[in-house]
Structure 1
Amino acid sequence: MGIIKLTNIRLHAHHGCLKEESIIGSEYRVDISLTTDLKKAAITDNLVDTVDYVHINHIVKEEMAIPAQLLEHVSKRIMDRVYIELPTVDEIEISVSKINPPIGGDVEMVTTILCSKRT
């Protein structure tokens, strides 16, 4: 087994419960870690024997572009697509952070983290 991580994917998206958030949008950070078997790829040096992180980034960007009220919902959509489109992925941990959230205080970011195993 092994882990593939994409760290600090930065995006502008339109998530949140406030009307202004859906209009103006905010800056987001996504971190995703996938557990998969990397033994064959380590030997063959062939992209088809691993999980292509370009594909992972594509999924994150597409799902983040679809507005949602909750970060948890966006995270779940990303996880569902990864499991569907990348059948060798066994586990996922994803964190989605809203940078400088509009919560009436000096908060750098708010983050939700979801973890799951393929069932």
Structure 2
Amino acid sequence: MSTETAPQADTVSLDGRVFCGVENSATGEVGQSTTFTYHQDHEVVWAEYSGGAVVRGYLVGTRNADKLNFRYVHLGANKETSTGVCESVIEVLDDGRVRFHESWAWESRPETGNSIVEELKQ
């Protein structure tokens, strides 16, 4: 019987974790074929992402306990650039993987939405 406890959402490192889209509002462009590779240096977080409707994307922001605040920019498959802001709440799943519950807003157009991004199984 293991006495190890699962990492807590406010302290789990995001560095090197790979995520994919699970759910998204209709006006979002991130989907199940979009993968994100996250990096973390203390409270600074960033990621590269691509796949599906996204040719190449980047996000950069900060982390405060179990919350992420960042801006994102990407080039869509339609060859248009898009920008926005996102607030995410980190959840650690029972199997140790991480899930983000996201609330986002485009800055380059009027839509807003919610999404779930989840760490891929290793």
Q: Normalising by structure 1, report the TM-score.
A: 0.34
More helix, by proportion? 1
Q: Which is bigger in relative contact order (C-alpha 8 A, separation at least 6)?
A: 1
User: In terms of Rg, which structure is larger?
Assistant: 1
Q: Normalising by structure 2, report the TM-score.
A: 0.33
